[in-house]
């Protein structure tokens, strides 16, 4: 693996969804998540991290050093036991075992050295890891409208249901979508924390690749048309950074250009070009998309 990164980064990802549900809320009947005060749509950081993990699984095949710790049907103690099994009897030294196991987990699991993890379980304790890569919630640029659609299934699950419905096997359900939404999410990458977990230049390249391609491998009836539209990266010349993150995020301006009509495509927005003279000294602007 390559060496840990030496630069701080911030980034802005713009992505959109058309006739879909980008992140349903299980506490609200799987309705699209919204800010109840403004009506703007929300997508959680956990949702986006899940898509990154899934892309890494597809591209790297779950082989060390790109195994995934948090995945569907995973038993976390079983995952952590791998670290203890890998340590020799001489290395297992009471209080230091958890620290050794923590280092092993960071080395072998991509999502741990990227996003961090709480692994201080009673059995096979591997401590805690603060990940260098963090995301906020994605928020839509405008209010979203949730449409409710009745759907019909031409089959039933059991013979008993078929008898009860007297041969009419149609069953009704509900589906929720938004016609269109453009979302913006902010991300942060810490070089000092990367040195603690071993997050490397190769890992960073894979992370950018995941952001640009993760939606192409996450298609479903609810997410048929989700796509990244802009990935703007700010690379600092130093580990600790050369400008406040919020000052950099404020350089990215997105405005609706369709008048009173509701937006229905990315072309209904204008992303203003960033003047290089507005970028603070010691910060490099990189537009990946």
Q: What is the pLDDT of residue 97?
A: 83
Q: Which two tokens stand for residue 11?
A: 């980034």
* Bridge partners of residue 31, in order along the sequence: 25
- Reduced 3-state DSSP string for 29-86: CCEECECCCCCEEEECHHHHHHHHHHHHHHHHCCCCCCECCCCCCCCHHHHHHHHHHH
Give the model's pLDDT for residue 269: 97
- Domain contains 153: no
Identify the pLDDT of residue 246: 96
- CA–chain centroid gap for 275, Å, is 29
CB 99 within 8 Å of CB 127: yes
Q: In tens digits, what is the pLDDT along the chain, a chain of 289 residues?
A: 579 999 999 999 999 999 999 999 999 889 999 999 999 999 999 999 999 999 999 999 888 899 999 988 889 999 999 998 888 655 665 557 888 899 999 999 999 999 999 998 888 889 999 999 999 999 999 999 988 888 787 777 777 777 777 667 677 778 899 999 999 999 999 999 999 999 999 999 999 999 999 999 988 888 878 999 999 999 999 999 999 999 999 999 999 999 999 999 999 999 999 999 999 999 999 999 8
Q: Cα separation of 74 and 119, whole Å?
A: 13
Q: What is the CA radius of gyration of the chain?
A: 22
Model-level pTM? 0.90
Tens digit of pLDDT for each residue in 105-122? Answer: 999 999 999 999 999 888
14 belongs to a structural domain: yes
Nearest 5 degrees, angle CA 227-CA 116-CA 22?
A: 25
pLDDT for res 2 = 77
Query: Domain containing 96: what range?
Result: 9-148+175-287
Confidence (pLDDT) at 152? 80
In 3D space, the residue among 53, 84, 66 whose CA is nearest the CA of residue 1 turns out to be 66
Number of independent structural domains in the chain: 1
Residue 138 lies in a domain: yes
Instruction: Detail the DSSP E strand segments found in 8-163.
Output: 9-20, 24-25, 31-32, 40-43, 116-119, 127-130, 133-135, 138-143, 147-153
Q: Is the residue at 268 inside a domain? A: yes
The β-bridge relationship of strands 138-143 and 40-43 is antiparallel
Residue 169 lies in a domain: no
Could you tell me if residue 33 is inside a domain? Answer: yes
What's the rounded Cα separation, in Å, for the pair 153 and 255?
41
**Can you give the pLDDT at residue 94?**
54
Residue 87 lies in a domain: yes
Q: Is 3 exposed, middle or buried (0-12, 13-18, 19+ CB in 10 A)?
A: exposed
- Has residue 168 been placed in a domain? no
């Amino acid at each position: 693996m390559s060496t840990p990164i030496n630069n701080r980064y911030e980034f802005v990802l713009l992505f959109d969804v058309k006739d879909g549900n980008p992140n349903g809320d299980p506490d609200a009947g799987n309705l699209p998540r919204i800010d109840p005060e403004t009506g703007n749509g929300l997508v959680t950081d956990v949702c986006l991290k899940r898509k990154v993990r899934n892309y890494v699984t597809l591209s790297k095949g779950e082989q060390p050093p790109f195994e995934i710790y948090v995945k569907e049907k995973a038993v976390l103690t079983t995952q952590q036991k791998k670290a203890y099994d890998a340590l020799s009897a001489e290395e297992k030294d009471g209080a230091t075992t958890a620290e050794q196991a923590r280092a092993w987990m960071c080395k072998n699991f991509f999502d741990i050295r990227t996003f961090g993890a709480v692994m201080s379980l009673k059995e096979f304790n591997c401590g805690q890891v603060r990940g260098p890569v963090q995301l906020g919630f994605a928020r839509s640029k405008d209010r979203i409208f949730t449409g409710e659609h009745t759907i019909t299934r031409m089959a039933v699950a059991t013979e008993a249901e078929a008898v009860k419905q007297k041969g009419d096997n149609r069953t009704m359900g509900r589906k929720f979508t938004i016609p269109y939404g453009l979302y913006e999410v902010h991300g942060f990458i810490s070089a000092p924390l990367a040195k603690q977990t071993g997050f490397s230049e190769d890992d960073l390249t894979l992370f950018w690749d995941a952001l640009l391609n993760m939606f192409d491998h996450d298609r479903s009836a609810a997410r048929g048309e989700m796509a990244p539209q802009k990935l703007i990266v700010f690379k600092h010349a130093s580990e600790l950074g050369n400008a406040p993150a919020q000052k950099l995020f404020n350089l990215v301006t997105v405005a609706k250009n369709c008048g009173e009509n509701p937006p229905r495509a990315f072309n209904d927005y204008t992303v203003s070009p960033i003047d290089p003279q507005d970028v603070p000294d010691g910060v490099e602007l990189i537009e990946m998309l």
